[in-house]
């Protein structure tokens, strides 16, 4: 016998229901009708018995449906609450298509320039490029090492100083020093020859990113955008600080103009904080971890530490959690793919082998943008 039926019997056995049923039966028994033929009397008595039986059945049905409702509300409430919580969690999801980490690469040290050391991630054979990005180096340089006179054509270089200072000079007479937190965004275009050397004692650290130019922009005149640290856009929200080199975060936009649509941000997250940063759909994007460790992409993923480059899959945004006891610092970079052939030979990046051959000839013979190359030498 089910628990519900047992409860039903107990309710029907209570004084309230037994007395009510007794009264109904008593009234039916003592009820007197006017004098009528015996057949009519028997018919009336049968009808009353049917009504009594119907009343009892209705009473039983009423109690049968009432008891579970009164006695078992917690189960119904828990089910409803669970459903509501599930709906709320789904509604609060930050992105419809969150970006996951699809490739993880540890940037390993290698020699570069003259006595310098870099940690290269993009640009190695494991990750030749990530359209529109051609190379990413984390450099660590002390005098007298550095990057003496060398040419470029067909792309942009973005140098972001993490510590110390670097002096830049080129064959067009441009010269300047960028210090901790400063940015130099150089468009090499049709051709530039320059040097990049440490400006102070001790170790000078930074990131240099190469961004490809579309075929229509590869032969434009060189230009520079330089931002001092104090002029870089900043924002802070819920334990997350961001320096916006290019693009937009937390409703704040950088003034830097990018020929190839690009976002470049330096995030610092306090312990226990989380970040949900939109990234335009269709853009390629990656993370480079500068300090600390964090969880990227999916909440149940393993934490990843410094000097790792994380390539992000498709989606509309990146989620990050800092569950460690120390700050997490990383660069988030994204760009619109050009979808063009990439042919690279050292510091020249064009769309075909013929264009690369032409760039080498132009540099060697000092023409088509390299006219001043043979007569110039940097002070470095």
- Residue extents of the structural domains in the chain: 100-335
- Reported as a single tens digit per residue, the pLDDT across 134-144 is 999 999 999 99
Confidence tier at 233 by pLDDT (50, 70, 90): very high
Helix, coil or strand: residue 28:
helix
139-160 burial: b if 16+ Cβ within 10 Å, else e: bbbbeebbbebebbbbbbbbbb
Name the least confident of 63-67, 82-86, 119-123, 257-261: 82-86
CA distance linking residue 311 with residue 106, whole number of Å:
11
So what's the pLDDT on residue 47? 63
What tokens were used for 48? 């009353």
- Indicate if the pLDDT at residue 119 is higher than 80: yes
So what's the pLDDT on residue 82? 38
So what's the pLDDT on residue 77? 36
Report for 42-46, 74-78, 166-170: range of highest mean pLDDT = 166-170
Name the least confident of 26-35, 100-109, 274-283: 26-35
Q: What are phi and psi of 329, to 5 degrees?
A: -125, 130
- Indicate if the pLDDT at residue 39 is higher than 60: no
CATH fold group of domain 100-335: Jelly Rolls (2.60.120)
Sort strands 233-237 and 240-246 into parallel, antiparallel or unpaired.
antiparallel
For all residues of the chain together, what is the average pLDDT? 84
- Reported as a single tens digit per residue, the pLDDT across 250-267 is 999 999 999 999 999 999
Sole residue written with tokens 């969690």? 89
Sole residue written with tokens 């039903």? 8
- Reported as a single tens digit per residue, the pLDDT across 171-195 is 999 999 999 999 999 999 999 999 9
What tokens were used for 314? 């498709």
So what's the pLDDT on residue 25? 43
So what's the pLDDT on residue 94? 83
Beta strands in 270-314, from DSSP E residues, in sequence order: 274-278, 284-291, 295-296, 308-312
So what's the pLDDT on residue 46? 59
CA distance linking residue 119 with residue 107, whole number of Å:
5
Preceding amide of 210 cis, omega within 30: no
Given a contact cutoff of 8 angstroms between Cβ atoms, the answer to whether 318 and 98 are in contact is yes
Between 203 and 21, name the one with better pLDDT: 203
- Indicate if the pLDDT at residue 22 is higher than 50: no
CA distance linking residue 160 with residue 166, whole number of Å:
10
- Residue 229 per-residue DSSP state: G
CA distance linking residue 222 with residue 259, whole number of Å:
12
Confidence tier at 26 by pLDDT (50, 70, 90): very low
When pLDDT is averaged across residues 71-98 and rounded to a whole number, the result is 47
Name the least confident of 8-17, 106-115, 123-132: 8-17
- Please count the residues of the chain: 380
């Amino acid at each position: 016998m089910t628990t519900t039926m047992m409860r039903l019997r107990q309710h029907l056995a209570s004084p309230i229901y037994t007395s009510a049923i007794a009264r109904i039966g008593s009234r039916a028994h003592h009820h007197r009708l006017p004098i009528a033929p015996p057949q009519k009397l028997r018919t009336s008595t049968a009808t009353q018995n049917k009504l009594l039986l119907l009343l009892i059945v209705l009473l039983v049905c009423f109690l049968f449906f009432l008891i579970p409702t009164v006695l078992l509300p917690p189960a119904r409430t828990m089910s409803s609450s669970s459903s509501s919580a599930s709906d709320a969690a789904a509604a609060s999801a930050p992105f419809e298509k969150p970006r996951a980490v699809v490739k993880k690469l540890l940037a390993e040290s290698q020699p570069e320039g003259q006595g310098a050391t870099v940690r290269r991630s993009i640009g190695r054979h494991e990750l030749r490029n990530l359209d529109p990005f051609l190379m990413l180096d984390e450099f660590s340089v002390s005098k007298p090492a550095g990057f003496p006179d060398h040419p470029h054509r067909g792309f942009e270089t973005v140098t972001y100083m993490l510590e110390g200072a670097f002096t830049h000079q080129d064959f067009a007479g441009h010269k300047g020093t960028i210090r901790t937190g400063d940015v130099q965004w150089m468009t090499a275009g049709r051709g530039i020859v320059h040097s990049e050397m440490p400006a102070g004692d001790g170790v000078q650290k930074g990131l240099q990113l190469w961004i490809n130019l579309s075929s229509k922009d590869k032969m434009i005149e060189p230009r520079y955008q330089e931002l001092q640290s104090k002029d870089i856009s900043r924002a802070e929200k819920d334990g997350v600080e961001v320096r916006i080199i290019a693009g937009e975060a937390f409703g704040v936009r950088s003034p830097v103009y990018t020929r190839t649509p690009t976002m470049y941000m330096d995030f610092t997250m306090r312990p226990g904080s989380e970040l949900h940063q939109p990234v335009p759909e269709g853009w390629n994007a990656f993370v480079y971890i500068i300090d600390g460790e964090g969880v990227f992409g999916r909440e149940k993923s393993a934490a990843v530490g410094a000097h790792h480059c994380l390539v992000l899959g498709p989606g509309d945004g990146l989620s990050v959690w800092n569950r460690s006891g120390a700050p997490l610092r990383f660069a988030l970079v994204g760009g619109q793919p050009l979808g063009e052939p990439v042919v690279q030979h050292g510091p020249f990046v064009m769309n075909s082998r013929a264009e690369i051959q032409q760039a080498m000839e132009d540099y060697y013979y000092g023409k088509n943008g390299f006219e001043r190359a043979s007569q110039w030498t940097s002070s470095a």
